[in-house]
Copies of this chain bind each other. A is one copy, B any other.
Amino acid sequence: MSTEIQETTRWHGNGKTHGARSGGSGVIVHRLDIETTKRVEIRDLTTLVQDMVRSADVDAGLVTLSSMHTTTAIFINEPQTALLDDIEQLLERLAPRGEEWKHNDPRYSDCDRQNADAHLRAIVLGSSVTLQVAEGDLVMGQWQRILMAELDGPRTRQLVLQILAAR
């Protein structure tokens, strides 16, 4: 369940990144590369995001964490070990891997990953979360964590995080 940043790039879209860091304004963007290890896997990214927010020196604003993929998802819940198994069970219940999906059928589709279930599960879970920042920190409840669902791994997955400061 550990999380790693394989690469972090700070984009300088409008030249205001420095201002954002020192004065609580502007926008900061991080690109995260996450290496997953299984076909279906749920990763806790909270500490990673929290560290980025804290080091951003932004008093208040919004944080948006977006998956760049159609077979991963980002959502909020509690990564208790037994519950993570239940989430995988829920996904299998909602969009079973073995169902006769057209996306997996060479008569209808040129996709060779046979990953219809992964797309459908990603749609149900959602591709991004938008969280609040207040007093320089993420606004989250005691048990809430930011989770990434790998649904068709293992692969290297790219996420993009934007911290938008209020003025």
Contacts and interface: CB of A to CB of B under 8 A. Distances in A.
Given A11-B135, A134-B11, A167-B16, A77 B70 contact: yes
A116 B78 CA distance: 11
B109 A143 contact: no
Which of A94, A102, A105, A129 gathers most chain B CB within 10 Å? Answer: A102
Interface string A27-58: 10100000000000000000000000000000
- When all copies of this chain in the complex are counted, the total is 3
Contacts of A103: 80, 82-83, 86
Contacts of A143: 69-70
Interface string A129-167: 111101110011111100000000000001010101111
Interface of A: 11, 13-14, 16, 24-27, 29, 59-62, 64, 66-70, 75-78, 80-83, 85-87, 89-90, 93-95, 101-103, 105, 108-109, 111, 116, 119-120, 122-132, 134-136, 139-144, 158, 160, 162, 164-167
